[in-house]
Amino acid sequence: MTHAIEMRGVHHRLGKTFEIRDLTVNVPSGSIYGFLGPNGSGKTTTIRLMLGLLRRGKGSIQVLGRPIPADAARVLARTGYVPERPHLYDSFSIGEAIKYHGAFFRTWDARRAEELRVRFRLDAAGRIGRLSKGETGKLMMLLVLAQSPDLLVLDEPTDGLDPVVRRDVLTAVLDYVSQRDATVFISSHLVHELERICDWVGVMDDGRLVAEMPMQTFKSGIKRLRVADAPSLVSDTPFVLLAREPGDGLSGGEVWVVRGWQDPMKQYFQGVGARLREVVDLDLEEGFVELLRTFRTPGA
């Protein structure tokens, strides 16, 4: 498997209170990689490091097969980047912004830009300073897709947009990926949104990567188990035990949250004298919350 983005043991201190610590990220080429994490977890800082906009303290970074920051200029020429806070000239019209942006990229596709402008219902004469947040989001996506990039890096691209605009923006991304086999790295705290479009997921919290795996593994491998007669001490489990708590007053027993679950692992409970009453599937948001909760528990 080749990787469009590889970060190895990256460290970066931001001010006196926050740092990226020993960060290792692998984004498979051609994937849509969802980068999840609460606000302030380090997602934007990670993106700036991978694009050479910030200097790492330790570690190594390669994007599209080239080292960062040494070859950042060549990488950025093949990358479409939507920052968390768009930078556009308010005095420009939409048509002027498209022409201005297109002048910087040899791979610029003017036909695609016009198709997207019509599809997004953006008036070429409309002033950027008067656009709504949704219209601004559409324009930013138009500009990066018309670059014909090999890599799309999207930092909270749909934050604050209404459901219709979010759908339009994400559909445009999916259409582009299907045509170009591009790689997408999309950062968000909207878990349910990424669940629908991503095939890989990384979870960030407090400057560290909590988990990284295929989306299907994440969704199918995190379970809530209802266990009766659980042993007081647990060891050598075939799964990762994320949390264990008392059950409710009616069912009794304990509730375990586990990662890496597979059905044959049911035999483990017979071997320790316990009874597995129920296996409950968790959606991505529930699994995400359980991962963060466990990660933040002292000694976990």
Q: Model confidence at 299, in pLDDT bands (50, 70, 90)? A: low
Cα dihedral 11/15/18/24 (nearest 10) = -20
Q: Measured between alpha carbons, how far is 169 from 88 in angstroms, rounded to an integer?
A: 18
Does the structure show a pLDDT above 60 at 53? yes
User: What is the dotted CATH code of the domain comprising 3-215?
Assistant: 3.40.50.300
Residue 147, both tokens: 């670059």
Tell me which residue has tokens 């003017």: 110
Residue 125 has a pLDDT of 96
Q: Model confidence at 250, in pLDDT bands (50, 70, 90)? A: low
- Residue percentage of the chain with pLDDT more than 70: 97
Lowest mean pLDDT among 108-122, 192-206, 231-245, 285-299: 285-299
How many CB atoms are closer than 10 A to CB 279? 14
Reported pTM: 0.86
Residue 293 has a pLDDT of 79
Residue 218 has a pLDDT of 82
pLDDT per residue as tens digits for the range 160-207 = 788 888 888 889 999 999 888 899 999 987 787 788 889 999 999 989
Lowest mean pLDDT among 87-96, 120-129, 235-244: 235-244
How many CB atoms are closer than 10 A to CB 277? 15
Query: What is the pLDDT averaged over residues 152-166?
Result: 87
Q: Which residue has the higher pLDDT, 188 or 59?
A: 59
Residue 68 has a pLDDT of 95
pLDDT per residue as tens digits for the range 266-276 = 999 988 899 99
> What residue ranges do the domains of the chain occupy?
3-215, 223-281
Instruction: Extract the runs of DSSP E, i.e. beta strands, from the chain.
Output: 3-14, 18-28, 32-36, 58-63, 66-67, 79-82, 151-155, 183-188, 200-205, 208-214, 223-228, 240-246, 254-259, 275-281
Query: What is the pLDDT averaged over residues 232-253?
Result: 80
